[in-house]
Amino acid sequence: MGWLGWTLITITVIMVIAFIVLSILGKKMQKKNDAAMAELRAHSQNVSMLVIDKKRMKLKDAGFPQAVVDQTPKFARNQKVAVVKAKIGPQIHTLMCDEKVFEFIPVKKEVKATLGGIYILDVKGMRGALQKDETTKKKGFFSRFKKNK
């Protein structure tokens, strides 16, 4: 066996080890995420709110309190998150939500939402079922090259 054979075996072994390590880390992170979501759901409350605006923007530019920005890891501060501005009672709040929930939130309509702190966990329509909002759908890379027919 020459140097090429040993090189391929070494690369294969390194890739297998990396796959095993990443799968173990992924399972640990999934368990932490499930525990955090269970904690949020335990302390959640149902409110009715009027959605003013929704956007995907950077966490540090979204207008959250400084305590929220300080608690997030440094690498996550520049990532875009789903942000919703809503009127709850007499006050206007800036809220964060999951991408799956973000698709169903209608703009300039009243909804019933389940909140855990500043995080929107679930959304229900006040007067009927909610539909996916196609206007805020993220466009793919190749979609701008396709011609409209």
pLDDT tens-digit profile of 10-57? 999 999 999 999 999 999 999 999 998 899 889 999 999 999 999 999
Dist CA 139 CA 130 (whole Å)? 22
- Residue 105's CB is within 10 A of a number of other CB atoms, namely 22
Q: Does 133 map to a domain?
A: no
Domain count, the chain: 2
Dist CA 83 CA 56 (whole Å)? 6
Q: Does 143 map to a domain?
A: no
Q: Which domain holds residue 26?
A: 1-42
Q: Does 93 map to a domain?
A: yes
Q: Does 131 map to a domain?
A: no
Q: Does 134 map to a domain?
A: no
pLDDT tens-digit profile of 11-22? 999 999 999 999
Q: Which residue blocks in the chain are alpha helix, DSSP H?
A: 3-42, 66-71, 99-102
